[in-house]
Structure formats: structure tokens, C-alpha cells
Amino acid sequence: MFTDGSGGMELAGAGFVDTGYVKKRSNEAVPIGLKIGSTRTVLVMPNYEGSLDIVRTLTCVARYRDLFTGKLATKFGDEAAEEYADSVYFMFRAGLPQDDDSVKLAAQFIEYLVYRYNIPENSYVTLAHPAVENERGRKNLKEIISGMSIGRTGRQAWSEAFCGAIPAFEGLEAIKKTFMSVNMGSTTLEISAFRNGEPVHTVTLGTISGNLVDRKIRLGVQNETQGIVNIDLNTARKYKEEFANFIDYKPVYDSVHIHDRGQYGFKIEKSIMKPVEEYVNNVIEAIMENFFPQLAQDHYQTYKRVLTEPIILTGGMACIPGLRERIQQMLCDELEQKVTVISSERPDLAPAIGAFRISEYTLNYKE
């Protein structure tokens, strides 16, 4: 956990905000939860109605030259992706920023959020971040946190895998537990064991990710249509998010205008679920071959304990209907014992909601 000492919610009750203006708040310090993901950023804060405003936007920037002034200008988030899909840059696609330019863009992106959604300076901010595997990434993360204009009351950063597990428990019960969390993100698979809020053992794999699933879907659609249809990665991601389903998958019908063919209708039968099924098999393999053996060797009692507690799934891939049940059954079969796998109602929003709860608790504790 990084800190900067400067200056039980149910998701159904939250106000979901994709765009728009978040109301100004009182002079009291406001708890903020922020998750800056490789694909999407989620911001959680309270509103006057006593529920939560949840803002979700793409973590990207587009640079272009203003035709009138001739100067370079920038657009961020969903607007950038919609208008400049061919050149938009996702600052966190490779994990935490590793160079000065990416750090600068990340800082500008945060200030865009501050301005766009009127986030008060008088706030306590908890940032949910992916696993930090190198010193440069750790240094850049500290720089980004310390440079924020918000969080005058305080700032801290916690593991995204831990924050994402918090909404699956009551309140902040996760801090008192020993459990295992599987963060199924866009760029990495992060498997962690936590004991009283501290990571005991973590395995991070960039070879198992939601982005790789998107690439396979894109290639699969091309192959399934004999090379006639070529979709971009954003479309592949939308297919996955809208249609992937382990419970009741149905073939997807779509159409596109093709040169010399006119409007061309096509059917997708295997190109969506096959990559998703491969992803789940790879997750099980990573847990059984990479995570459990090392955890059992170094922390045997923790290993035994996590098998008796619910295993938490978090991250965007965990939103696929039936995926949680599939992983639970496969783990039971592999371990030859009963294990329980759970997730929050919205695993993709869970890290930011968990970060918000930490900020809320910290402010109440200070009082």
C-alpha cells in the first residue's frame, strides 16, 4: 500500500453516470474511490441523495491538431475513442506507465476527470492499482498520486485485486480475512492471497488477459467469414461483453457494408465463446500450476485456509454470465474437494467501489 498523508453500499442503489455533471458537495471532505484500468477508469463518490455516483469512461487520450490555432489539442475518455478510434492511445495498456510521457498523460487524464465531474479538492482518494512489478512503475505510481489536485485530506493506493474483493464481503470485512482473489483484467491475470489486508503471495500473468481474448475474437470472426469481415478490437470487445455467455449462448447475427457486395449479413457461431472458453481453461491452469504450488510451499497454512474461504473473482472478464459457476466447478474437479467461488454484483466496478469504502472508512476513523 502506498500512502500520501497530505493535506455497506448496495450497487443497486448507486446512480450510474457515463457522462454528465456530478453535483457540488458540501465543505466536508468527500471519500473518493478511483480505479484507473488499462481499458476503463471507474470513479465512485457519494451524492446528495445518499447513494453513489459511479462514473465509467475509457482510459485513453487522442491528440490532434486544432485547425484554427494550429496547436496540438487532446481529448480523453469515451469522446476520444469515438472520434479518433484509429489513433486513440490507452495510457495503461502495458500496465503502469513506464516513461515520462505516459506519466504526464496519466496526470492529464486524472485532471480531466477532476474538471469533467467536478471532483472536490477537499477529498480523500483511494486509488485501486494493478500489481506493481518493477521499481520504475512503483516510482511513477507515487508521482501520479502525489501530483493529483484532489485528495487534499489524504491519498493512498491499494492493490486492485484486494479492492475488487471488498464488495463481495460485508463492509470492510475483507481486511480481517484470509482469502484468495482472482483479478481478471484487460491486460493481466492477477491471482493473490491476502491475510488481514496484506498480500501473502501474488502471481501476475500478462499471457492471460481480456485483450488477448478480444484479439482472438477478431481473428475468429475473420476466419469464420472466410476473410470477408474484418472487425476492429473495440468491436471484438463489444461482442465479448454483449454476447459471451456460458449459460445460454446464442449465435450472433450482424451485418456490414462490403465493397462490391453491398450490405453483407453474417453469423458468428464459435468465434466468441471459443476464445472465452480457452481463457477460462488458462485461468484454471494458472491457478493449479503457477499459484497453488508456490503458495503451499511458502505459506502452507494460508494455502489450506484460502480453500475453506470463498475465492473472489473480480475484473471485467468476471462479468460474463456463467463464468463464475464454470470456474467453481472446474476448481472443484481439479482439487477433488468443494470450493466456493463468488463475486460482487458488478465485478468490473468492484475495485473502485472497494476503494471508495476504504476512503469512507478512513475519513470516519479520522473523525
For the entire predicted model, the pTM comes to 0.85
- pLDDT bucket at 95, cuts 50 / 70 / 90: low
CA-closest candidate to residue 340, choices 173, 180, 170, 178? 180
Tell me the average pLDDT across 305-330.
96
Average the pLDDT over 8-30 and give the result: 46
CA distances from 152 to 6, 122, 239, 248 (A): 6, 5, 41, 48
Top CATH class, 2-167+348-366: alpha beta
12 has a pLDDT exceeding 60: no
Cβ-based neighbours of 286, under 8 Å, separated by 6 or more? 189, 191, 203, 205, 208
The mean pLDDT value of the chain amounts to: 86
The band of 16, judged by pLDDT with boundaries at 50, 70 and 90, is very low
- How many angstroms separate the CA atoms of 84 and 174, rounded? 41
Share above pLDDT 90 across residues of the chain, in percent, rounded to a whole number? 48
In the chain, where the domains are located:
2-167+348-366, 210-274
Q: What is the pLDDT of residue 151?
A: 87
CA atoms of 99 and 137, how far apart (whole Å): 9
* 208 pLDDT more than 90: yes
pLDDT by residue (tens digit) across 264-300? Answer: 888 899 999 999 999 999 999 999 999 999 999 999 9
Mean pLDDT of 334-350: 94
The confidence score (pLDDT) of residue 94 equals 64
CATH number belonging to domain 210-274: 3.90.640
pLDDT of residue 87: 82
Q: Per-residue pLDDT tens for 169-196?
A: 888 889 899 999 999 988 889 999 999 9
Q: How many CB atoms lie within 10 A of CB 277?
A: 15
User: For the chain, how big is the Rg over CA atoms in Å?
Assistant: 21
Cell of 168: 463481495
